[in-house]
Amino acid sequence: MKREMQKDSPLYPAVGVQTGLIGGVLAVLLGLIGMVETFHQRYIVEELLSMGQALLGMTFILLCYLAARHSPTIKSALVRGILCGLIMACSLWTLVLLGEQINLRAMFINASPQLFEILTFHRGTGKGGLILAAAGGLFGLFCGLLSFSSPGLRRMVFTALGVVVSAGVLQDLIRPTLSAWPGLEGWSERLFAANGLRPSGAVVLFVLTACSSLFGSWKGKAIQNRFQRLSPERRRLVHYGGVSAAFVLILFLPWILGLFFSEVLTIVGLYVLLGLGLNIVVGFAGLLDLGYVAFFAIGAYVTALLTSPELGFFHFSFWSALPFAVGLGIIAGVLLGIPVLNMRGDYLAIATLGFGEIIRILVLSDFLRPWLGGAQGIGRIPKPALGGWELATPQEIYYLILAGCLLAVFLSFRLRNSRLGRAWMAIREDEDVAQALGINLVTTKLLAFATGAGLSALSGAIFAAKLGSVYPHSFNVMISINILCLIIVGGMGSIPGVIVGAAALVGLPELLREFAEYRLLVYGAALLAMMLLKPEGLWPEAVHRRELHAGGKEEE
Amino acid sequence: MGKAWRKQVGIIDWIMWGIGAGVLALILFGSVVTLKAGIYSGRHWLDFLIFGLAQGSIYALIAMGYTMVYGVLRMINFAHGEVFMSGPYTAYFLAASFYRSGFLEAHPAWSLILIFLLSVGVSAGIAFLLERIAYRPLREAPRLIPLITAIGASFFLQYVFRGLYGSGFQAYPVIKALEGHWSLFHLPILKFQVMVIFSAAFLLAVLYSFIQKSRLGKAIRAVSEDREAASLMAVDVDRMISLTFVVGGAAAGAAGVLYALMFKQVHFFMGFMPGIKAFTAAVLGGIGNIPGAMLGGIFLGLIESVGPSLFLDGLGIPAPYQLKDAIAFTLLVLVLIFRPTGILGERLAVKKA
């Protein structure tokens, strides 16, 4: 009781100190794992703000804001925010001091002089430390003020900052996109320099988004109401108009973005396809399958076996091999589904993980080498051909993947609201109740496994044809985890969520090559953060959102 | 799952029993052929046995953490393998610095004890923080959510270690006192294996008596029996759950140090396989059952070291040792299918959701 009262007393700074210490540990960790230094190579604003600095800055803003939030008075908000910022800056400075005294590198390989240079703004320990402290204090002040501003203003600042940072991060994507349109080349020149935004460009972008955000909070409600008042026919017209515009855009995307980004798009597309399949198993039916990559491998290996001249058992074309690949995938889904029928939750996860690993180990072993190629894999898989047209470049393969994704989206949408989809969701919510309501658990679960496996095998077949070769190392448990991650981040059970998740978790790392090393770290952190803060995902499914925010906590 | 379920899936049951019988027949056939062919001498089998015992006792130590956490929280702590991995990393840096300063040569016993205690402390600390930050806020969430959190935590920890210490293998310094053989009935036995077996046995005994005899151990058991009733009996449930993680983490850290003594290298991904194996061991013994986890670990270690040569050589499979992980996983899947309550039976089977 006493502690509670102390916490609410206006100047009580403990929250600031506590958050500051947590933030300090976090910031030091970001430096020591090498993220700051790696990201320092790319600038967000030319010569002014690097991505590494932005990363640290965002950590400062986040934690100072958390510290200042829920303060009773503006004075205590400011005190908490500034304290938090100062403590974080001090922890970083302590790291620099320590690094100068002793050789931290013997233990932490990333505690390099370059890191310390970055942290002290290349100004030496003393002066740099002061600048660092000042920056921390300013961040705290800024967040303290922000926590007491109106929600509209807060949203405006955060959106504008977010847009500027994303524009800087995605510069390689935005620049060619802008140049592809005849009228917009000038804009690309005006906004971007060789490495990062121009300072003037950043300001323009900030002001523009801030204005549009202001306009949104001023008029947004009115526009929404106006749309609600439209007659159903016209509303549908607007809806279909939007969808067909998006479709046309998707259709021409590879030609707008060029070869490299088409390659990225094909990878994202394959993950969307995989994600949609796993979404049926995990998102709809609630069966946590960690061996999902096995079906991907089966699809790829069947295609390779049937088409590649390297082993020479069969000489199918891609199109005639495809049904076999998908069919065998489905059969494997059912076969692996049968033994795990009466397992739940964690047992199911571990058993499927075991299955996935068994398959990978078998493929890798010398035992099956004469048939599956062992560690060397199978090469020389022919490209798919349509009539006389061979789908060889990423831009052409893209359409194959797009077709697969559209099929998967269509299937998912149709299945979700079907009798079967409802049965899956009933099982997800409560297996015993579902069974009591007359749902046949065996067939329903097996259908979920089979559908998911089929989509995964389809994805695998396209993957094999795209790459031209298959190796057992492409099919490790990480792939299953990646896919799980993207459907969780997107929102379990949500179909657009899968696409958003794939774009964010697969597309982004492909665009930022510096990021690749930290990819799985960020995945793990994303899983943790999503589960702790926003378990329904970025683009949640309506039912799930209602369920997680239904007020009362759910009992097991 | 009552009898109604069994009736409903009659045909599937038959299929599964068929699979089981097939696997059993293969194992028997393979063993008979191997033994008849006499590829391996008694020496070989003894080596396999001792190695299996050492490995198995390490699995047993890790499995304790899984089983205890499952007992109190009903969740699989997927990140337990990473808690295990943090132990040898700490041990590596200590051993390397002791080696450089010459302390390791001068006082091998003291430095080993120091390395051991500090590494165990770090692992216990990581396990404690893990529970505090990642699992405690989700205690009342639907079942899938803590599981996914645990997977996330596992990868997060792995790659934080990779970022901090680099992605390569790091080799342990040689500890002279543990090199060489002892002879037992004129048979040479590697010193470090004996050391691993004895320290693991000692630790398991300490752990077992802690859980069975001490007040805190009783409180932990009370929480895993019935959380609400325990809290009514003035047991501080939150603190007991933390303690469970700390004890489990310490056991995993100790196992990690022993593991590093055996395999002499550390790597950020080293926790994954032993983690899953130890989970298999916990399931094998009946999850939530502490003596079961110990027995399960030792059994799994033995099967893994003897199995490939015994079962697979006879079937004419080349390089059977490559398939030892597949044997462990097959065992896991078979146990989960046919006897999910484990060999000794799951103490918590009734209440499993």
Residue A413 pLDDT: 87
Q: Which residues contact B91 (CB under 8 A, 6 or more apart)?
A: B115, B116, B118, B119, B256, B257, B260, B266
Mean pLDDT calculated for residue range A189-211: 83
Which region holds residue B209: left if phi is over 0, alpha if psi is between -120 and 50, else beta?
A: alpha
Q: Who among B165, B280, B353 is closest to A109 (CB)?
A: B165
Where would I find the H helices in A170-231? 171-180, 185-191, 199-229
**Contacts A524 to B, Cβ<8 Å:** 151-159
Give backbone dihedrals phi and psi of A343, rounded to 5 degrees, phi first: -100, 155
Residue B351: predicted pLDDT: 42
Rounded CA-CA distance A118/A122 in Å is 6
pLDDT one-digit tens code per residue, B29-52: 877 777 777 777 777 777 788 888
Question: At A254, is the pLDDT very low, low, confident or very high (cuts 50, 70, 90)?
Answer: confident
For an interface test with B, the pick among A35, A521, A522, A548 (most B C-beta atoms closer than 10 Å) comes out as: A521
Closest CA to B67 of B350, B352, B346: B346
**Lookup: tokens for A162:** 């977010």
- Cα angle: A454, vertex A455, A461; to 5 degrees: 90
Compute the distance between CA of residue B231 and CA of residue B237 in angstroms, rounded to an integer: 6
How far off is chain B from A201, nearest CA to CA, in Å?
34
To test the contact with chain B by mutation, choose from A531, A534, A545 the residue with the greatest count of B C-beta atoms within 10 A, namely A531
Give φ, ψ of B266 to 5 degrees: -125, 155
pLDDT interval class at B318 (50, 70, 90): low
Residue to test with chain A: of B156, B268, B280, most A Cβ within 10 A: B156
User: Measured in whole angstroms, how far is the alpha carbon of residue B256 from the centre of its chain?
Assistant: 10
User: Which token pair is A432?
Assistant: 């015993």
For residue A348, the distance in angstroms to the closest alpha carbon of chain B comes to 9
A126 min Cα distance to partner chain B (Å): 26
Instruction: State the count of interchain CB pairs (< 8 A) between A and B.
Output: 175
Exposed e or buried b per residue across B218-248, where buried means at least 16 C-beta atoms within 10 angstroms of its C-beta: ebbbbbbeebeebeeeebebeebbbbbbbbb
Cα gap A554→B15, rounded to integer Å:
37
Report the residue of chain B nearest A109, measured CA to CA: B165
Smallest Cα distance from A375 to chain B, Å = 12
Name the residue facing B8 among A288, A442, A525 (closest C-beta).
A442
Torsional class of B234: left (φ above 0), alpha (ψ -120 to 50), beta (otherwise): left
DSSP state of A149: S
Q: What string of H, E and C letters represents the secondary structure of A441-462?
A: HHHHHHHHHHHHHHHHHHHHHH
Of residues B140, B166, B337, nearest to A339 (C-beta): B337
Lowest mean pLDDT among A327-336, A461-470, B185-194: B185-194
Which residues does B185 contact at the CB level (< 8 Å), separation at least 6? none
Amino acid letter at A533? L
- pLDDT value of residue B5: 52
Tens-place pLDDT, residues B150-168: 888 888 888 888 888 877 7
- Verify whether the Cβ–Cβ distance B137 to A553 is below 8 Å: no
Instruction: Describe the crossing of helices A51-68 and A125-147 by its angle, rounded to 10 degrees.
Output: 50
pLDDT value at A454 more than 90: yes
pLDDT at A545: 57
CATH, domain range B9-351: 1.10.3470
Give the CA angle between residues A504, A507, A510 to the nearest 5°: 130
Task: Kindly identify which residue of chain B lies nearest to residue A110, measuring between CA atoms.
Answer: B164
Interface contact B329-A34, CB threshold 8 A: no
Tokens representing A136 are 């921390």
CA-wise closest residue to B195 among B210, B182, B209:
B182
Each residue of A111-142: pLDDT tens digit? 888 888 888 887 878 888 888 888 888 888 88
Interface contact B160-A29, CB threshold 8 A: yes
CA distance A114 to chain B (A): 16
The pLDDT of residue A552: 41
Instruction: Supply the pLDDT for residue A320.
Output: 83
Confidence at residue A453, expressed as pLDDT on a 0 to 100 scale: 92
Bridge partners (DSSP) listed for residue A503: none
Model pLDDT for residues B56-108, shown as the tens digit of each residue: 888 998 988 888 888 888 888 888 989 998 888 888 888 888 887 777 777 77
The whole-number pLDDT of residue A326 equals 92
B28-55 residues labelled b (16+ CB within 10 A) or e (exposed): eebbeebeeeeebeeeeeebbebbbbbb
Phi first, then psi, for residue A192 (nearest 5°) are -110, 145
The reply to whether residue A531 touches residue B165, judged by beta carbons under 8 angstroms, is: no
Give the single-character DSSP code of B9: T
* Cα dist from B21 to A332, A473, B27, B285, whole Å: 20, 32, 10, 21
Please give the Cα distance from A144 to A20 (Å, whole number).
Answer: 13
What are the distances in angstroms from CA A244 to CA A247, A500, A539?
5, 19, 21
- Which residue in chain B has the smallest CA separation from A530? B149
| Domains of chain B, residue spans | 9-351
Q: Which helix (H) or strand (E) holds B11?
A: helix B10-37
State the SS3 of B261-299: HHHCEECCCCCHHHHHHHHHHHHHHCCCCHHHHHHHHHH
| Optimal mutation site among B336, B346, B352, interface A, most CBs of chain A within 10 A | B336
Looking at per-residue confidence, does B143 or A204 come out higher?
A204
Judge if pTM exceeds 0.90.
no
With contact defined as beta carbons under 8 Å apart, do B54 and B193 qualify?
yes
The answer, yes or no, to whether residue A335 has pLDDT greater than 70, is yes
Nearest C-alpha in B relative to A359: B326
CA–CA gap between residue B125 and residue A456 (Å, rounded): 40
Q: How far is A538 from chain B (nearest CA, A)?
A: 16
| Interface touch A338/B329, C-beta < 8 Å | no
* A358/B333 CB distance under 8 A: yes
Classified as helix, coil or strand, A129 is helix
- The closest of B73, B69, B61, B81 to B207, measured between CA atoms, is B61
Beta bridge partners of B183: B188
Q: Identify the residue whose tokens are 């209440």.
A: B351
CA distance A528 to chain B (A): 5
In this prediction, residue A555 carries a pLDDT of: 36
| Interface contact flag, A523 B165, Cβ < 8 Å | no
Q: Do the beta carbons of residue A43 and residue B171 sit within 8 Å? A: no
Query: Contacts from A441-446 at CB under 8 Å and sequence distance 24+?
Result: A441/A341, A441/B8, A442/A341, A442/B8, A442/B9, A442/B12, A444/A285, A444/A420, A445/A285, A445/A287, A445/A337, A445/A341, A446/A333, A446/A334, A446/A337, A446/A338, A446/A341
CA distance A552 to B156: 30
In degrees, rounded to 5, the angle at the alpha carbon of residue A356 between the alpha carbons of residues A345 and A502 is 75
Whole-number Å distance between alpha carbons of B152 and B137: 15
C-alpha–C-alpha distance, residues A487 and A531, integer Å: 12
pLDDT at residue A182 greater than cutoff 80: no
Separation between Cα atoms, residue A67 and residue A141, nearest integer Å: 11
Neighbour count for residue A490 (Cβ, 10 Å): 30
Strand runs labelled E in B112-207: 170-171, 181-184, 187-190
Closest CA to B72 of B210, B209, B245, B234: B245
CB B137 within 8 Å of CB A6: no
* Residue among A32, A343, A357 whose CB faces B336 most closely: A343
Mean residue pLDDT of chain A comes to: 81
Bridge partners, residue A43, by sequence: A50
Residue A1: is its pLDDT beyond 50?
no
Q: Which residues contact A234 (CB under 8 A, 6 or more apart)?
A: none
What pLDDT shows up at residue B138?
A: 83
Task: Look at residue A179 and tell me whether its pLDDT is greater than 80.
Answer: no
Q: Do the Cβ atoms of A314 and A324 come closer than 8 Å? A: no
What does the pLDDT look like over B204-253, one tens digit per residue?
Answer: 888 888 888 888 888 888 888 888 888 888 888 888 888 989 998 999 99
